Every structure is written in C-alpha cells, then in structure tokens.
Structure 1
Amino acid sequence: MTRLPRPTPHELDAAQRVLYHAIADGPRANGPRLFSLTDGEGRLNGPFNAMLHAPAVGSALQELGSAIRYRTTLSDRVREMAILIVAAHWDSAFERYAHEPIGRAAGLTEAELTAIRSGGVPELSDPAEAAAVDLVAAMVATGDAGDALFDHAVSLNGTEAVVELTTLVGYYATLALQLRVFRVGQPGDPS
C-alpha cells in the first residue's frame, strides 16, 4: 500500500501542476511508450508521484533525471545497464518494470538482462561498455571504485562519462529508496 496520496491532475496546486507537466509532457512522454507515466485517471506512476509532494525538490530531481536520460554522453545500452544494475542492487521492481523494456529497445539481450537481474554483470564484448558496467557494479556494491577500475573506466569512456555514471547511480539509488520507503509498486499492483 502506497504511503502517499496519488492526486489526479485536477487536485494539484499550481507548483504541483508545473512539475506534473514537466514530467508528463516533457521528454519522457515524447519517446517510445514502453511504460505508462500515468494511470487511467492521469495520476503519475512510480517515483514521479512522490516528487509532487515536495515540488521544489521534485522539480530539481526530475530535471536531474531528465538530464541523465536524455542529455549525457552515455550510450543507451550503457545507461540502461547502469540503471538496471542499480535496480537489481536495490531490488526495485518499478525500476526493472520501467527500464527492462527500454533496455531491450536499446539492444540489451535477454542473457544480459538476466545476468543483471540476478545481481551479476553481463559478459560484454565491447571493452568500453564492460569498463562502464564494472565501474557501476563496484559503486553499487561498495559505494566506491578502486583506482585501477576507475582509471580503466576513464581511459575507455572519458571523464565526462564517468561523472555521468556516478550521477546516474546516485539518482537511481535515490529513486529506488523513495520507491521502497513510499511503498510504490509497479502499475497494477494494489495500492
């Protein structure tokens, strides 16, 4: 049972409406519809509903998420593997629900998804992808990365991508924590 009310669009105050439209009408809504941002009554699904309950923080958080998803140097494959590694670590059903279809669309194989879902790291033939994924796996496992792993990831992906990866891990860990604390499940789960 979710711990937060799920307001319909007509129940929102002015600040919440601005945030709602940034989420529901922003870049997340313009891509392929692989999962629904809203339910049949227009209420936001997943972590986005929580953002409405603190619009100033929620606006900053959703803007960070938008930047991570749509304005980084990360390839779609690396981004989705990183998100799903965080989801596996936090056992976040909503993040898996939302990002496995996006990962498939980005070219992740079922074997790669299965490896990540089980808490492992997929075998990757691309050295830059492998270095990025190894870095993400270390960050979620230990909250850090050793010098050799860090240097290897930077040498193959660049400093900018490594900064983006660390930010991505923190952002999706924040969402996973909120989803857990606020008892948010996948759409269709009783709430």
Structure 2
Amino acid sequence: MPADTTAPDLRQGSATPWRERMPLPPSEAMSEAQRAAAQALIDGPRKGVYGPFLPLLRSPELLDRVARMGEYLRFGSVLPARVREFATCIAARHAGNQFEWHMHAPLAQQAGVEAAVLDALRQGARPAGLAGDDALVLDFSGELLHQHGCSEPTYARAVDRWGEQGVVELTALLGYFVLVSWVMNVAHTPAQSAAGAALPPFPL
C-alpha cells in the first residue's frame, strides 16, 4: 500500500495507521448506478463528488436520498443562513469532523457569526457573550447533541423564534451533519485543504 501523504491536520477518524479507506473509484470501476449518482452531484448545486459523497458512492441509492435531504436543509430550509451555518459548525465540532468544519466555518463567518465565537468553538470552549440567534442555536444544539433532547425553556424559545417547522429543520440539520460526519470519519475521508479558510483546523 502506498504511503499516505495527507497532512495530519486534514485526517479524521481515529484508527491508525491512517489511510483514506473509500476514495473516489475509477470511472471504469463504477457501476451504472454509481456513475448516474456521481453525475447528478456534478449537475446539481454541489458541482462535484467530494466529502461524504465519496464513501456514500458505495451505496448510490442512499447517496441520492442523503444528497436530496442535504440540498433541502442547506439551500431550501426556512432557517436563516447564519443559523444553518453556525449549527453545522457545532455539529462538525461535536462529531470531530474537519471536512465539514473547513467547509462551513468560513460560510458561518460570511453569514455573520463572529470569528471569536467560531475560534472558541474550534478550541472546544463555549463561546462567551452570545446573544440572539447565536445563543439559541448553541443552547438548542448543545442540548440535542449531548442530552439527546431539548428542555422546555429552550424548546419554547426555539418555537417562538423559528416556529415548529424551523425547530424540526434545525433538528434534522444537526442530525444530517452528524450523519455525514460519521460516514467520513469511518471512511477516513480527508478534509480539503484549509488554504484560504477563515479558521484553522480544530485540535483532535
């Protein structure tokens, strides 16, 4: 097996020695269903096959269903971009997934989340001084990811702010990004280069 040249801070998944377990298969080795699933990704808003869709290509029908769910949660949800991107960063940090962190920390910052907030999250600390949507997203996400539910006060605040549809979609978004993070962690799908990203990787 050839030596892996992936930079250590772009690796994810805990097994050693580290290697990417499910890279993109050669086109000639793909089934018709795999080629169709890959082409659908290329033709859609993602414009390519990367990240969780590399391992998911091993199950083309599952890939299609996961991709369609992700497209709605990312591009069609009633939640504002700032809420979606900050929640995605929280899920990525919780699941120890550098790929989603590299992808979404810059997007969260572009959507208005302060760099200091993201850097505290990156280091595993609770960001201080949060208010408004950012505080509510962190509270809701933290309760769901760590306690597998949501307290009455936090639920009431979330429904008052985003409605029942928004609460359902925020819950699903957190679950979706934990799901794809786990898939990549098991497959050892490396993060893309952090060049140009707003924040460095988080410590593993």
Q: TM-score, normalised by structure 2?
A: 0.78
Report how far residue 187 of structure 1 moved: 3.0
Distance 1:162 1:19 in 2: 30
RMSD, aligned CA: 1.9
Q: Whole-Å Cα distance in 1 between the matches of residues 97 and 67 of structure 2?
A: 18
For 1:69 and 1:22, the matched residues in 2 are separated by 17
Structure 1 partner of 2:179 = 174
Structure 1: any 5+ residue segments left out of the alignment?
Answer: 30-36, 38-43
Structure 2 counterpart of 1:133, from 134, 138, 146: 138
Which residue type is aligned with residue 51 of structure 1?
L
What is the distance in 1 between the residues matched to 2:73 and 2:191? 22
Tell me, yes or no, if the aligned pair for 1:97 and 1:186 is still in contact at 8 Å: yes
**1:22-70 per-position Cα deviation (integer Å, ceiling 9, x unaligned):** 22221123xxxxxxx4xxxxxx321111111000111101111111100
**More relative contact order, 1 or 2 (CA 8 Å, 6+ apart):** 2
**Shift of residue 105, structure 1, vs aligned partner:** 2.3
- Does the aligned pair in 2 maintain the 1:121–1:134 contact within 8 Å? no
Contact 2:86 2:134 in 1 (8 A): no
Letter in 1 for 2:21: R
C-alpha distance in structure 2 between counterparts of 1:94 and 1:14, whole Å: 28
Pairing 1:89–2:94 present: yes
The alignment covers a number of residue pairs equal to: 175
Q: C-alpha distance in 1, partners of 2:107/2:28?
A: 30
- Equivalent-residue separation in structure 2 for 1:86 and 1:166 (angstroms): 11
TM-score between both structures, scaled by the size of structure 1: 0.83
Q: Distance in 2 between matches of 1:188 and 1:96?
A: 11
Structure 2: state its 5+ residue gaps. Answer: 1-18, 195-204
User: 1:66 — aligned with what?
Assistant: 71
What is the identity percentage for the equivalent residue pairs of Structure 1 and Structure 2?
Answer: 31
Q: Determine the C-alpha separation between the residues in 1 that align with 2:157 and 2:193.
A: 42
Q: Which residue of 1 aligns with 2:158?
A: 153
Partner residue of 2:122?
117
